[in-house]
Amino acid sequence: MDEVKVIEIKKSVFAANDQDADALRKELKNKGVYLLNLMSSPGSGKTTTLIRTINLLKDRLRVAVMEADIDSDVDARRIQAATGIPSIQLHTGGMCHLDAEMTRQGLDNLPLEDFDLVVLENVGNLVCPAEFDTGAVRNAMILSVPEGDDKPLKYPLMFSVCNVVVVNKTDVMPYFDFDLDRCREHVRMRNPRARVIPICAKTGEGVDAFADWLLEEVKTWKQH
Taking CB under 8 A as the rule, does residue 153 contact another protein? yes
Taking CB under 8 A as the rule, does residue 18 contact another protein? no
Question: Which is closer to another protein, CB of 188 or CB of 202?
Answer: 188
Question: Which is closer to another protein, CB of 169 or CB of 190?
Answer: 190
Taking CB under 8 A as the rule, does residue 30 contact another protein? no
User: Cα dihedral angle (121, 124, 125, 129), rounded to 10 degrees?
Assistant: -20
DSSP 167: E
Question: Which is closer to another protein, CB of 81 or CB of 189?
Answer: 189
CA distance 62 to 104: 19
We find the least distance from the C-beta atom of residue 129 to another protein, in angstroms, to be: 10
Amino acid residing at 23: A
Residues 177-196 that bind another protein (CB under 8 A): 189
We find the least distance from the C-beta atom of residue 189 to another protein, in angstroms, to be: 6
Taking CB under 8 A as the rule, does residue 110 contact another protein? no
Question: Which is closer to another protein, CB of 3 or CB of 113?
Answer: 3
Taking CB under 8 A as the rule, does residue 173 contact another protein? no
Long-range contacts of residues 175-181, Cβ cutoff 8 Å, at least 24 apart: 176/145, 176/146, 176/148, 177/148, 178/145, 178/146, 178/148, 178/149, 179/149, 180/149
Taking CB under 8 A as the rule, does residue 11 contact another protein? yes
**Rounded to 5 degrees, what angle do the CA atoms 106, 42, 151 make?**
120
- Dmax (CA) for the chain in angstroms is 74
Taking CB under 8 A as the rule, does residue 8 contact another protein? yes
> Are β-strands 87-91 and 164-168 bridged in parallel, bridged antiparallel, or unpaired?
unpaired
Find out whether 100 and 14 touch, Cβ atoms under 8 Å: no
We find the least distance from the C-beta atom of residue 70 to another protein, in angstroms, to be: 9
Q: Which stretches of the chain bind another protein, using CB under 8 A?
A: 2-17, 94-97, 99, 127-128, 131-132, 153, 156-157, 189
